[in-house]
Structure 1
């Protein structure tokens, strides 16, 4: 019995990259949702400025207000109702393996199509 195989490495890599971008975006959206549960709220401006995106092959989550960095880093600030500083860092540390799994699953789905 004989058979032949042709490797399409470039095509496989291109499909995997699409899956990676999809997975990174999905993971970033999950991280943003987890972060929004902790972000300090006074008027909602900080929370509403949150974004999730994929740029340059990296998932990015951030908040865009002049005070976002201080609210994240200043542990002396007090926030009611379970809101806290380190509102991005805490969920990233807590859910890191799940976020990686989300990205990996998206790559696998693309490769199986």
Structure 2
């Protein structure tokens, strides 16, 4: 283990720790983790990004964009829907998906912006 990336002695700020633990207990961090877990799959991240580019896509569009079968695209879309990331509507025999709200779009665009900064600063 690299000794430069860890404390060399055990010492913590009890007031700060207690305050943050109190704030942590007020939040539903588990839901946040589940949101990021759903987006951690590359194909689901591609779907979310695609929906940032165009407000609404049918399952067939999504399958073609990410290069998978309709069944695989549907599976990913169902997972995203269960996590509240996307919503859908039926029009005849077609199912159209869109991002659930603007916050999801912001998360995707902020993550991409961060990644571009990391690449520049490396």
What's the TM-score once normalised by structure 2's chain length?
Answer: 0.28
Question: Whose helix fraction is larger, Structure 1's or Structure 2's?
Answer: 2
Relative contact order, higher structure (CA 8 A, sep 6+): 1
What's the TM-score once normalised by structure 1's chain length?
Answer: 0.30
